[in-house]
């Protein structure tokens, strides 16, 4: 029996699809009935019943974390640590998700799984605390770093560009941040396959290929309104409370050695748009 935490979120919904398709017995919990920061909630789910605990719950408001770093760190860091320790005591494998934002964005080649932390915003710092806490709790865990998450549901960049592209004649999109988009459906499926392959430790899972936000937006808009003129601009044109890394491409080599080549982001985006 598996436990899925946060099944109503963007990634949690994708995980629910995978578990149902694989006919894997599971229990799903989410807010308000389950609170990752609540000791009472944790006691309910760490009694040894679950073989694997998949944690899709997180503080995801990157800009909001700048003003509420303590709260973000409680959810993404300290609460995750308590969950990890309870899973270790119960003999459950913990699957936990982290982010490219634990890196500084100054690299010129993909970040290795063991690259040094240097987060440049509060959200990245909160996720780095969570990663460290999971590792300290024991060896039976799988930390999966991902980036630029999107899905056929929820609030995400791909669906926003699809809506705006259909409504407007022109869009300006940031072209000085480079990374790897990630379909939540691909991420959940790849995560399941990694577990089945016995993967442990830290790995990266994203779509294949790399692009800027402008490249991604242009690919999306072309499918809904080719007449919309998508133009590149710098990050300075859209100031945000949280600083974003300029380069956050992560190395997929160890992951692909276990489960094969990651599908290109263009194919995954097309598949998501076909469902939206």
Sorted by sequence, the CB contacts under 8 Å of residue 33 that are 6+ apart come out as none
Per residue in 195-215, pLDDT (tens digit) is: 999 999 999 999 999 999 999
Share of the chain above pLDDT 70, in %: 100
Identify the pLDDT of residue 43.
85
Q: Is residue 175 part of a domain?
A: no
Share of the chain above pLDDT 90, in %: 94
Q: Is residue 55 part of a domain?
A: yes
Q: Is residue 275 part of a domain?
A: no
Q: Is residue 40 part of a domain?
A: yes
User: Which CATH number does the domain housing residue 88 bear?
Assistant: 3.40.50.720
Residue 45: is its pLDDT beyond 90?
Answer: no
Tell me the pLDDT band of 32, cut-offs 50, 70 and 90. confident
Q: Quote the tokens at residue 234.
A: 């710098």
Q: Is residue 240 part of a domain?
A: no
Residue 222: is its pLDDT beyond 80?
Answer: yes
Tell me the pLDDT band of 44, cut-offs 50, 70 and 90. confident
Tell me the pLDDT band of 162, cut-offs 50, 70 and 90. very high
Average pLDDT taken over every residue of the chain: 96
Residue 68: is its pLDDT beyond 80?
Answer: yes
Is residue 209 left, alpha or beta, with left meaning phi > 0 and alpha meaning psi from -120 to 50? Answer: left
Q: Which domain holds residue 43?
A: 2-155+180-208+249-262
Q: Is residue 213 part of a domain?
A: no
Identify the pLDDT of residue 46.
76
Tell me the pLDDT band of 176, cut-offs 50, 70 and 90. very high
Q: Is residue 228 part of a domain?
A: no
Q: Is residue 256 part of a domain?
A: yes
Average pLDDT over residues 248-276: 97
Query: Catalytic amino acids?
Result: 123
Contact between residue 24 and residue 48 where contact means Cβ atoms under 8 Å apart: no
Identify the pLDDT of residue 38.
92
247 φ/ψ angles, rounded to the nearest 5 degrees? -140, 115
Identify the pLDDT of residue 31.
87
Identify the pLDDT of residue 212.
98
Q: Tally the C-alpha atoms within 13 A of residue 117's C-alpha that lie toward its C-beta.
A: 16
Identify the pLDDT of residue 276.
87
Q: Which of 38-47, 101-110, 212-221, 250-259 has the lowest average pLDDT?
A: 38-47
Identify the pLDDT of residue 168.
95
Domain tally for the chain?
1
């Amino acid at each position: 029996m598996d436990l899925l935490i946060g099944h109503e979120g963007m990634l949690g919904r994708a995980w629910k699809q995978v578990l149902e398709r694989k006919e894997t017995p599971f229990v799903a919990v989410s807010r308000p009935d389950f609170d990752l920061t609540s000791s009472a909630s944790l006691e309910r789910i760490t009694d040894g019943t679950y073989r694997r605990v998949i944690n899709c719950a997180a503080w995801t408001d990157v800009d909001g974390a700048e003003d509420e770093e303590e709260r973000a760190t409680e959810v993404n860091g300290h609460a995750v640590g308590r969950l990890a320790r309870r899973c270790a005591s119960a003999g459950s494998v913990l699957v936990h998700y982290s982010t490219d934002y634990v890196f500084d964005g100054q690299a010129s080649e993909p970040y290795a799984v063991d690259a040094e932390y240097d987060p440049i915003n509060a959200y990245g710092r909160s996720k780095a605390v969570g990663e460290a806490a999971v590792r300290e709790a024991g060896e039976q865990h799988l930390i999966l770093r991902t980036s630029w998450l999107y899905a056929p549901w929820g609030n995400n960049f791909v669906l926003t560009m699809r809506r705006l592209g259909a409504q407007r004649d022109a869009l300006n999109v940031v072209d000085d941040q480079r990374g790897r988009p990630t379909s939540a459906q691909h991420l959940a499926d790849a995560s399941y396959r990694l577990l089945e392959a016995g993967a442990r430790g830290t790995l990266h899972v994203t779509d294949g290929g790399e692009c800027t936000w402008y490249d991604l937006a242009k690919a999306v808009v072309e499918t809904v309104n080719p007449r919309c003129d998508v133009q590149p601009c710098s990050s300075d044109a859209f100031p945000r409370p949280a600083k974003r890394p300029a380069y956050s491409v992560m190395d997929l080599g160890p992951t692909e050695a276990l489960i094969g080549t990651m599908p290109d982001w263009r194919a995954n985006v097309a598949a998501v748009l076909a469902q939206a």
